[in-house]
Amino acid sequence: MAIDIADDYFHKRPDHPYWNESGWFSFMKPERDLSGWIYFYHRPHVGYTVGGICAWDNTGSENYDCLCYDWGEPYPMKPETNMFDFEIDNGLKVSIVEPLKSYKFDYRGANAYTAGGCELDLTFTAPILPHDAGMPGGLDEWGKGH
């Protein structure tokens, strides 16, 4: 399957109400012993986006004791939302810098699992263009569309 710029935007939607499109990015800062991820998915048929971040260091490893955990709440999907171009009410903003290669993530939020709030200003730049890695035998249906 060829990957092109159209894949950075919503694909044709089947009728299933729980159909979604998702993105996941990890990050780390080894000298700080810091790791984390940004994960989101959109469900346009039901009108919401779930998205947020998690960050941890050697002081905690669960969502209740890590540095920041703000993920899992559904937020209303704004009409202008697209796959990698959206903002949700918990403070996460995602935008395309360069299609298929670079994405910008901003987060300004505070929640019950984050003492004092959390801010993130991160740009992900891929070292190579994306490619179809295929699916292992027998898993084609599971990975359909990935």
* Digit-coded pLDDT (tens) for 96-126: 999 999 999 999 986 656 656 789 999 999 9
Q: What is the mean pLDDT of residues 46-58?
A: 94
Tokens of 128: 């190579």
Tokens of 21: 């499109």
The predicted structure's pLDDT at residue 141: 62
Q: Answer for the pair 39, 24: CB distance below 8 angstroms, yes or no.
A: yes
Q: How far apart are the first and last CA of the chain?
A: 10
Is residue 129 over pLDDT 90?
A: no
Report the distance separating Cα 64 and Cα 25, nearest Å.
21
- List, for residues 31-49, the tens digit of each pLDDT value: 999 999 999 999 999 999 9
Task: Cite the beta strand spans of the chain per DSSP E.
Answer: 21-29, 34-43, 48-56, 68-70, 74-76, 86-87, 92-98, 102-109, 118-125
